[in-house]
Structure 1
Amino acid sequence: MMPEGRKAHSTRILVAAASTIVIIAGLKLAQGFFVPILLAVFIATVSFPITKWLRRHKVPRFFAVLLTVLVDFAFLTGIIVIVISLMGDLEDKWQTKYFPAVNERIEEISLTAVDLLENWQVKDAEGMVRQYTNVEIPQKLGANLDVFGVGANVAWGLISFLGTSLLVLILTVFMLSEARMFGRRKNAILEARGPNFDRFMNSSADIQRYLAMKTVVSLATGVLAGFLCWAAGLDFFVLWGIVAFAMNFIPVLGSIIAGIPPVILAFLVNDAASAIAVGIGYISINIFLGNFLEPMLMGRRFGLSTLIVIISVLFWGWIWGPVGMLLAVPLTMVVKVMLENSDELRWISVAITKEKRRPILSSDDDEDLEDNLLDENLEISPPFSETSKS
């Protein structure tokens, strides 16, 4: 017969596992609710330095927030317009340049494979190769698609996107407007004998720094990737730079995915040597920027192992799609702090930590944070904040 203590422990494990499954299912079902909020959090955090700079130059808060949102809107709209324009050019280039190149490369690969198999004395080598390479490639992109169905889906998708964008901008306005109230509310909660959010505040300050640094690194990645594609003689180097910038926000996997289209394009248009050179260039960019700058955030400060980062990207991507992948590291850090506050689950936080546990922010970090992020005594950057001075 099982002892009472072991039975109670097993019951707690089963309850915890069932609760975790219910929470994960709820988060996935509530994707439509959480995704706009997370996007607003991301935009407000990244663009808050603009508001802070305007406030330091005596611009009233209302106009500072308004100008910040207008800058965000102009930046995002500009990227969308550029991408749509380049996609139209890509349609034309596919018919006149890339379609013949694809057929030519397939023919070259087929002949090489036939020669190799014949040297190995394989019977009917040509028929075997043609069986796998005789693929009908549409000369016009979307030629085999249901135009009406695709058009309807695009229209509904555009309406949904515009509605979500409007909601995100509204949430961003309120987050930027109420930034200075976060510190006061935290202190009021503490005075009312509520929970102490100091650990969350310190972690939130780190997350804000992570997003700010990630934006700078992503911009550098996009510029260098675009220059690399231009130097390699590839078309649409601006598009590949934008893709590299956007995908670099997804840890580890994003940069790999961003490098695949230019490598394939270099192979189709130029040759294998050009594709290898472009691939090496992308790897060099990511090694230089990712292994020297980002470890300062994800290694020394965040303490998450590379394996945990990859798993978190896959998990949050499954839960909330691209937005979850975009904010995988910050979301995992929030979960890590919650685990650290639990006596029974603290071991999980230790297990996913790369280094020995250490304070998230040192005293020097506290001073730097106050000097660089605060523009008023009680104002903090949204939606992540630092403990206000009493």
Structure 2
Amino acid sequence: MAKPIITLNGLKIVIMLGMLVIILAGIRFAADIIVPFILALFIAVILNPLVQRLVRLRVPRVLAISLLITVIILAMVLLVAYLGTSLNELARTLPQYRSSLVVPLQHIEPWLQRAGIEVSVEELLKYIDPNAAMTLVTALLSQLSSAMTSIFLLLLTVVFMLIEVPQLPIKLQQVMSRPVEGMVAIQRALDSVSRYLVLKTAISIVTGLVAWAMLAALDVRFAFVWGLLAFALNYIPNIGSVLAAIPPIAQVLVFSGLYDALIVLTGYLVINLVFGNILEPRMMGRGLGLSTLVVFLSLIFWGWLLGPVGMLLSVPLTIIVKIALEQTAGGQSIAVLLSDVSQR
């Protein structure tokens, strides 16, 4: 009698895996539509506590939302204008990189030859094409203006989401079979994600400002661009801060030499140590309930599924999936595998 049961269970697992593959393929195929919606949703989660605080101060909800969105739009216009200027300057500077690379490569060439690595500086320089880099920067500049339309639609979606927040719990309770347990799970997910996003945004802003100030104090060109990059990539767990440090260190190494590059490297190490290893864990509390391996794997998975936005939001998306799995009998074992046992 056990054999048909095993066969039925196996068939059920195969069907569920097949459905999962179809769902993931559909999400990836429709990423152009889903990604802006997810990004708008998380922006709304970040802004909702500020809206609620203004409402408590007896500011009408619509007016509070309008004020926040207006401030964001003004900040983004100034940011894009300054970034466009910096990218224009970067595009004019790029041809200097090829000539500046000759001397460092000539110094490195004897060391590589002693290690048994045959390298020709002339051959390496053939692969360094500043025109390709200039084309890339020019494309970025042209996309900044076209991106403003998408950003406007994104912020408009955020506005409607924030307006809908007071009616959302009533609607969700009406469609749930177990409204009490469901609302508790949703509130828990919102609290976890909101706390993570608000704290991560605050830490990322401070990290970007400190990186900008450090590079400006060291008279590194395009310090604002690298500070903005440090802010954006700080959302990516584990590797984001490392990726943000590579371009400015490479720039200083090429133009200013090894000694200045080591100073910049030391500055980034101090920033990552203070903010990434000391300040952030203390502000986050006991943690997010996810193991370190799961955080890294989620970075790869969500990046594959949703692109760069998926990498930026990999941790909150995984938190939501984990909490959702905890609400089902079949998903509780998977939720345990995702969790950090040391924090249980």
One fold, TM greater than 0.5?
yes
C-alpha distance in structure 2 between counterparts of 1:232 and 1:218, whole Å: 21
- Conserved 8 A contact 1:299-1:354: no
* Residue 129 (structure 1) aligned with residue 129 (structure 2): no
- Conserved 8 A contact 1:86-1:236: yes
**Structure 1 residues 265-314: Cα deviation after superposition (integer angstroms, max 9, x where no partner):** 12112222332332232222122212234335767242111211111111
* Residue 353 (structure 1) aligned with residue 339 (structure 2): yes
Q: For residue 87 of structure 1, what is the aligned residue in structure 2?
A: 87
Question: CA separation of 1:7/1:357 partners in 2, compared to 1, >3 Å: closer, same or farther?
Answer: farther
The Cα of 1:182 is off from its aligned counterpart by 2.5
* Residue 102 (structure 1) aligned with residue 101 (structure 2): yes
C-alpha distance in structure 1 between counterparts of 2:171 and 2:230, whole Å: 39
User: Structure 2: which 5+ residue stretches go unaligned?
Assistant: none
Q: For residue 368 of structure 1, what is the aligned residue in structure 2?
A: none
* Residue 284 (structure 1) aligned with residue 270 (structure 2): yes
Query: What is the root-mean-square deviation in Å for CA atoms of aligned residues?
Result: 3.0
1:158-169 residue pairs with structure 2 within 5 A? 161-169=147-155
Q: What letter is aligned with 1:270? A: S
1:25-64 residue pairs with structure 2 within 5 A? 25-64=25-64
C-alpha distance in structure 1 between counterparts of 2:11 and 2:66, whole Å: 53
User: Structure 1: which 5+ residue stretches go unaligned?
Assistant: 359-390
Question: CA separation of 1:139/1:14 partners in 2, compared to 1, >3 Å: closer, same or farther?
Answer: closer
C-alpha distance in structure 1 between counterparts of 2:125 and 2:343, whole Å: 57
**Structure 1 residues 175-212: Cα deviation after superposition (integer angstroms, max 9, x where no partner):** 12122223333444569969723112112111101100
1:287-306 residue pairs with structure 2 within 5 A? 287-296=273-282, 300-306=286-292
C-alpha distance in structure 2 between counterparts of 1:289 and 1:357, whole Å: 21
1:263-342 residue pairs with structure 2 within 5 A? 263-296=249-282, 300-342=286-328
Describe the SS at the equivalent of 1:211: helix
C-alpha distance in structure 2 between counterparts of 1:19 and 1:180, whole Å: 34
Q: What letter is aligned with 1:274? A: D
* Residue 8 (structure 1) aligned with residue 15 (structure 2): no
Q: What letter is aligned with 1:137? A: I
Q: For residue 77 of structure 1, what is the aligned residue in structure 2?
A: 77
Question: CA separation of 1:196/1:102 partners in 2, compared to 1, >3 Å: closer, same or farther?
Answer: same
1:366-381 residue pairs with structure 2 within 5 A? none
Q: For residue 259 of structure 1, what is the aligned residue in structure 2?
A: 245
Q: For residue 185 of structure 1, what is the aligned residue in structure 2?
A: 171
C-alpha distance in structure 2 between counterparts of 1:342 and 1:191, whole Å: 13
TM-score (norm 1): 0.78
Question: CA separation of 1:146/1:66 partners in 2, compared to 1, >3 Å: closer, same or farther?
Answer: closer
The Cα of 1:339 is off from its aligned counterpart by 1.3
Q: What letter is aligned with 1:113? A: L
Q: For residue 193 of structure 2, what is the aligned residue in structure 1?
A: 207
C-alpha distance in structure 2 between counterparts of 1:298 and 1:23, whole Å: 32
- Conserved 8 A contact 1:350-1:357: no
The Cα of 1:332 is off from its aligned counterpart by 0.6
Describe the SS at the equivalent of 1:107: helix
Describe the SS at the equivalent of 1:249: coil
Q: 1:221 aligns with which of 198, 207, 210?
A: 207
**Structure 1 residues 46-99: Cα deviation after superposition (integer angstroms, max 9, x where no partner):** 23344234323333222211111111212222222222110111122333x534
* Residue 242 (structure 1) aligned with residue 228 (structure 2): yes
Q: What letter is aligned with 2:107? A: E
Higher RCO (CA < 8 A, seq sep 6+): 1
C-alpha distance in structure 2 between counterparts of 1:299 and 1:11, whole Å: 43
Q: Which has the higher helix share?
A: 2
C-alpha distance in structure 2 between counterparts of 1:327 and 1:37, whole Å: 13
C-alpha distance in structure 1 between counterparts of 2:341 and 2:284, whole Å: 11
C-alpha distance in structure 2 between counterparts of 1:196 and 1:47, whole Å: 23
| Number of residue pairs aligned between Structure 1 and Structure 2 | 344
C-alpha distance in structure 2 between counterparts of 1:328 and 1:131, whole Å: 42
Question: CA separation of 1:330/1:317 partners in 2, compared to 1, >3 Å: closer, same or farther?
Answer: same
Higher mean displacement: 202-211 or 288-297: 288-297
C-alpha distance in structure 2 between counterparts of 1:254 and 1:170, whole Å: 29
Q: What letter is aligned with 1:37? A: F
C-alpha distance in structure 2 between counterparts of 1:308 and 1:352, whole Å: 6
- Conserved 8 A contact 1:35-1:323: yes
